[in-house]
Amino acid sequence: MDDRFGPDAGLHRQMYEEVGPRIAAGPWHWFHWLFARGPSRPFVANLILACVECELKLPGLGWALIRDVASISGREKNEADYESLLQKLSEIFVLRQLLVLPWPEGTTFAHEPAAGPGGKRPELKAETNDALYLFEVKAPSLLSHQRSRSENPVQFPGRMFEGAMRKMMAGDQKPILPRDNPVKDFLMSAEAKFAPFAGEKSVYGILIVVWDDFIYEPITSLVHEASKGLLTAETFARNGDGTPITFPHVDAVFLIRHLMYFQQGAAETLTERRHAFDFGGERDLPNVHVPVPGGKEVPGFIRAGLRALQFDDEQLQNFADYRPQEFIMWFNT
């Protein structure tokens, strides 16, 4: 291990020496090829560095995260394991970024805290003198959906068309259907985890969803009124009595477009970022902030730290990838 990892190279080395042999030569692991080639491979080095930074901010967290990565193994080329790894990488990526935000002096952190015995556990709690900030990090299973995008030229990102109309519009093609149910599940999970913390302090509930480059998909699922978006009055998510399902303890959703960088980084084909755990800078494509109607306004330092513009910001309207979509036809060129 060289000194490019700075004064924490010793901890970096310790993490690699514990998990590296397990991943490289233990039960089959999706990252075994990378770890077998040493700790200086960009993906390996920056994965461990992200865990080191988490460990320095919240002792015990970095070790837990890197051990989780090592434990997702044993089933050769199992896609469910690969998607579990993408979820874990998303947690590491987002937690590291949250922990290094310019929090007020005296802020304390807890990983997977519970409001009471046996309670549901959000990903992270940050507590300041006057507020609690709760974060839940999610990433969808997208492998089969990504294949569908490459194979099928017709996509319906939302629910604005009934089945018969979709069939007529798609013709002989097999259309790509919305991926809004995972977004609904993420919101419901976050609501269930945040609600028990309601108390005397002001509580901010923030859901962070890591998606791939097709960021219009979750935007459409959340805010497109004709598509019965989940944060609109016409939401498709309904209780048994027909009333809308709402999320009173979720104040905002942040959409982070990064899954493809993990996939490309692990394949060593990444060109758009310095490495797979680079959160990006002002010249990079932004992430998206979607306020929940009726929710509290998330402080600016969090929005800025997550590099997020509001979904209806004028700067995003020139990019089709950031606008809600009704119907898409892909043409191979």
Q: Mean pLDDT of successive 10-residue segments in the chain (333 residues)? A: 58 94 95 93 96 96 98 96 98 98 97 90 96 97 86 76 67 77 96 92 97 93 91 94 96 97 96 95 94 97 97 90 77 54
**Which of 77, 93, 120 marks a domain boundary?**
77
| Same domain for 30 and 138 | no
Judgement on whether residues 239 and 115 belong to the same structural domain of the protein: yes
Domain range enclosing 49: 1-77
pLDDT of residue 118: 84
Beta-bridge mates of residue 138? 209
Instruction: Specify if 91 maps to a domain.
Output: no
User: In terms of domains, do 219 and 283 share one?
Assistant: yes
**297 and 175 both lie in a single domain:** yes
Are residue 202 and residue 300 in the same domain, yes or no? yes
Indicate if 187 and 319 belong to the same structural domain. Answer: yes
The per-residue pLDDT for 97 is 98
Tell me the whole-structure pTM to 2 decimals: 0.93
User: Do 209 and 325 reside in the same domain of the chain?
Assistant: yes
In a domain, 92, yes or no: no
Whether residues 70 and 119 fall in one domain: no
Answer for the pair 111, 127: CB distance below 8 angstroms, yes or no.
no
Q: Are 307 and 100 in contact (CB under 8 A)?
A: no
Confidence (pLDDT) at 2: 45
161 and 198 fall within a common domain: yes
Question: Between β-strands 131-138 and 202-211, what pairing exists: parallel, antiparallel or unpaired?
Answer: parallel
The residue out of 39, 58, 77 marking a domain boundary is 77
- φ/ψ of residue 181, rounded to 5: -65, -40
Residues 198 and 290 in one domain: yes
Measured CA to CA, the distance from residue 6 to residue 37 in angstroms comes to: 21
Whether 34 maps to a domain, the answer reads yes
Structural domain count of the chain: 2
Residue 159 lies in a domain: yes
106 φ/ψ sector (left φ>0, alpha ψ -120 to 50, else beta): left
Q: Quick one: pLDDT at residue 1?
A: 43
Model pLDDT for residues 68-94, shown as the tens digit of each residue: 999 999 999 999 999 999 999 999 999
Phi, psi of 254 (to 5 degrees): -110, 130
- In three-state secondary structure terms, 237 is coil
Those residues whose C-beta lies under 8 Å from the C-beta of residue 19, and which sit 6 or more positions away, are: 35, 66, 67, 69, 70
> 97 in a domain, yes or no?
no
